[in-house]
Structure 1
């Protein structure tokens, strides 16, 4: 390790996103005005790049977000830089592009047995940092065994989303830069031009001053974008003091230039008020300008918000030869002289192209190209084209206006309904995320303002918040929040408590401060979240402990014909577990859907599980999404084919019994086993599917399933009344 790294504080890469704790490493960072430097040190037991997928090789990754704006996918200032132990590079940039190379990026890798070090030089793409500049950053170690990835560790990302979204990156504050004072010019300093010819001039100037000494000069000519760097020259002593001289060559005849000189010091500080002088080079005997052939064209392509590519036909001609081109944009800006246009042979003829940068977003331009010959004569009437740049990239997240609310209603012991007001955005809100504490529970379309939360525990306090996103992927961080306590089993009514100050989505972001030049960056280590798992939490029975009278439900259609279900329906309604099809009707005769029955089971038993994969035919905006996800995680439901559930399909009685039995087992409320012999008293026992026999038999033993006394009707569809009775009997367990 080079000495320059020794004082750079260590960044511990020890948040384990995969099971093995062996995956870990250390990163150190330095910076200057143009680059971020990262050094990784990794200890391993074996090294492998057997898998052609570069994400599954022994490697390290650096993530950089220069403007600190949440982005998914990456924007132009974001980047993912990966280098494996053998020094092979791979990248991810704007809109998830994965180019083979990254301009300006350099890396080196060294192995020592099965340990290795990687050093990266990452160019800043959109910023010129200074003391106090903050960027987002993360560091990652990937651990492979043969062709398998067995471990991933990060510095800050706790959920494994760094390759998709910048919101999980940590924060680095760049500091520690020493000298910040640029060189100064004495009052009356001059830049003088002598020995002017048609292609050159000699410039002279008095020395600038600096507290640590001037190390170099830059000369600008007012035409070319890049200056000429002047280093290592000695001043000449004159009667008026030390004077520097530099001969400028390669100029165009009969062309006006405005030369300016600036001074720089060893710390990279540059003056901005150096002296200047206008110069017009001498003409030549050639006074005939180039001529454009008829049909010459200028075309614009690759248009962005700040630039485009101009391509023109190579059809200007001159007896002394074409020396360059000049491009105007029709807005009064200074013309751009192009002497390095890219020449390309095409099937329709030779063309030149040039990348135009520094344009204003959403602006109409009319570009014209003119040619100049070696005598400095410029053409007139060159080809032109009109083009409008794209609108500026949207970096502003949706806003929550004063009075925005997140409200909870229909609160029960195990669930509630969240509703919220619209967020506002200049391009439109496209989605919302709901959080329970720091855990995301739903991601919904922008047209949705209601969500059914299920699987809560009775008598428990919860904090909910909502955030909004626009089409550019900008997420709000100050959405409204609310604190809610679910009903206890005795039916006590909770009071939702709105949070007076909007609560941002909690994201662990350690702060780091640099201390040297180039600057090193110490960090504080975020506290990792616990490893994801799946748990089922049984809720105490919600059936009344004593035979207290149950309030009658408002449903007018649960009368004589369904009197056998009225107690179950009234009780479940009073507990908030079941709802009607309208304010006055329950529709007991209607068949219940597969999703609705699972939702009732999850509510009744208070089931909980960490969020996981759902079903392909169940959208996150569906009111039953969370309940189905919980049930799948707990192994209560498997779907039709493992990936589809058919949520709106009608459920058979035997499937209803299988789900109920699995749910009871998940909370240790079904100890009895069952077998085909337990169904001997039912005439249609042979119709019970093989996969359902044990579950149906167990519920029969527990008295939860009774049939009509003679038959079970296993293949018949279940009605809402039958489902209510089964849930009621489950609660009595």
Structure 2
């Protein structure tokens, strides 16, 4: 499988969330994707800006987003991403950012509208983190979004931004004068846990405020299965060793799936992560299971969805080394 980085998982994988919502894009005739909407830029510190945007719905799917500072490309992220931290900036400087979508066929769409952000004055020798935000509350805002609010943190200089986390992964940022936000691009009928941290101009980050746990309601007509489809498993012998060959079709969800977990005999065995854009259509993978003939194995797979949660497992397949499937 080209473009895949592979490692063995010893414990549960960490979460990652992309927080854009779907917007208009290329059509079924294979045109270039449309311009991303909802592009915002917020200073995260005196030397960084957090850029966010909405997902672009396109066919073929969006494989990557390119982020520009003026005319210079400063970032290239996967099609599942909806945000980028632009770092190594200058304090007290205004920057202009745009975003472009690129589909899996390499077609590059137009630039988004410009988003501006001004970095604050650098805080010299500031090593004191802000206090954590308090009284974090939230509510579902439809089946694909939640609204969060919190009480302001304090700092010996100034709070520049607030970072929103799902689990232990930062998914969103807003300015230091803001104590509420809406996180979009979520999944109907899914459970989430959010926390908020405060950041100052010297990039000192507070501890997390109290967590808020929310469940999005089911969406009308939005009961699509999140499990990989058409899952198949077979065994082959190569150089005296047995391998399980897998194939599947990615679940049809908003955004691009770049991570899968393979479960073998009821336990997580391997995690697959594409370092770049995953190939379109059916995916395949093979892994070693030993040299002994006549050993039975149960295998299934699930996808890390673009909202950072795990989807449902595929159907379980049973194979036995030394037999043909």
What is the TM-score when the length of structure 2 is the normalising length? Answer: 0.36
User: Counting helix residues as a fraction of each chain, which structure ranks higher?
Assistant: 1
> Which of the pair has the greater relative contact order for Cα pairs under 8 Å at 6+ separation?
2
Larger radius of gyration: 1
